[in-house]
Amino acid sequence: MTTEPAVSATAKGSQSPLAVSAAKFSAFYPSVGGEQIRALADFTLEVENGEFVVIIGPSGCGKSTFLRTVADLHDTNHVAGKLTVCGGPPRSARLSRQIGFMFQQPALLPWRTVIENVNIPLEVAQIDKPRITPTDMLKLVGLAGFENALPRECSGGMRQRVAMARSLMLQPSVLLLDEPFAAVDEFNRDRLNLALQDIWAATNPAVLYVTHSVMEAVFLADRVVVMSIRPGRVKGIIEIPFERPRSLDLRTTVEFFHLMNKARGLFEQEPDIPHDAGVQQESRAKSV
């Protein structure tokens, strides 16, 4: 067991650094005109180890950009401010394989069977004896018996389960999910979210989960981060105090509705949209 990752040992220590810490962090995209478009502005957020944080906000609020920056997928020439992942720059967290990422699309390799896809992280990291084998991981996500199926033989929900299993194979300290179930039907989405909750409880990574759905956010999160649009800022953070594990019935309670309204309220008190400098700048640029 020499290949056992040292990550989980440090993740549970009380003095270990925060999973993710962003302080007055900004991210840009170079635009065609040469001017930079600000995707995130003065974004400040701290995520504890093992914490489940859901980020919601309208399209284009920079939530995906934030995830990509945490995973070191965003060009570091176009950022400002401070961002650490597992106590260091995103790059070193990525290189030490402490990050798991799940995309909106399953991104499976279509020539590999389900189990071969789940095995990819082990091949890349050259781990022969993993703590959790791909077979066990597939059981955990409810895909026992489908090991040798090809992705094209799987339904959309099953493919996302495979992607979930794959993102967890190296037991990341930080698991990033970018609208992972947006393309899945509602019934499957509920089941996948329940599965995610179970797996998170079992493996306990810090989770950053991006979604459009207020209901999904309140159901899953320890804390919900509500973002405003262009440039993306933290509008407010809502603590979700419900006990775990949570069942789907929770969503019919008064408290649940109360928290959903609170989150929605943060969107609605957005009088600054027409006056927003970023928006105005952009519309001016378009009219030229």
Partner 1 sequence: MKLLKNKRFRKLLPFAFFILVLIMWEVLVRALDVSKFILPPPSKIVEAFLSDPSRFAISTAWTAYEAFLGFSIGLLVGVFLAALISQFRTLDHIITPYLVLIQVTPMVAIAPLLVIWFGFGLTPKVVIAFLISFFPITINTVIGLRSADRDALDLMRVLAATGRFSFLRVKMPFALPYLLSGVKIAAPAAVIGAIVAEFVSSTQGLGYVILSAKAQLRIADIFVAIMGSALLGVTMFSLSVFAESRLLRWHESQIR
Tokens 């999904």 -> residue: 216
Indicate which single residue of 38, 63, 97, 159 sits in contact with partner 1 (rule: CB under 8 A).
Answer: 97
Indicate which single residue of 111, 239, 275, 284 sits in contact with partner 1 (rule: CB under 8 A).
Answer: 111
Q: What is the DSSP string of 178-190?
A: ESTTTTS-HHHHH
Contact by Cβ (8 Å): 242, 222: no
Judged by CB under 8 A, the chain residues 162 through 221 that form the site for partner 1 are 170
Indicate which single residue of 18, 73, 132, 183 sits in contact with partner 1 (rule: CB under 8 A).
Answer: 73
Give CA separation, 201 vs 205, 241, 270, in Å.
Answer: 8, 16, 35
Indicate which single residue of 28, 101, 200, 219 sits in contact with partner 1 (rule: CB under 8 A).
Answer: 101
Indicate which single residue of 27, 71, 177, 229 sits in contact with partner 1 (rule: CB under 8 A).
Answer: 71
Distance of closest approach, residue 211 Cβ to partner 1, in angstroms: 18
Alpha-helix residue ranges (DSSP H) falling in 35-177:
63-70, 90-95, 114-118, 120-125, 134-140, 156-168
Distance of closest approach, residue 18 Cβ to partner 1, in angstroms: 20
Judged by CB under 8 A, the chain residues 6 through 65 that form the site for partner 1 are none
- Region of 45-53, 106-114, 138-146, 214-222 interacting with partner 1 (CB under 8 A): 106-114
End-to-end CA distance of the chain: 63
Give CA separation, 157 vs 101, 223, 247, in Å.
Answer: 17, 26, 20
- Region of 81-89, 93-101, 185-193, 277-285 interacting with partner 1 (CB under 8 A): 93-101
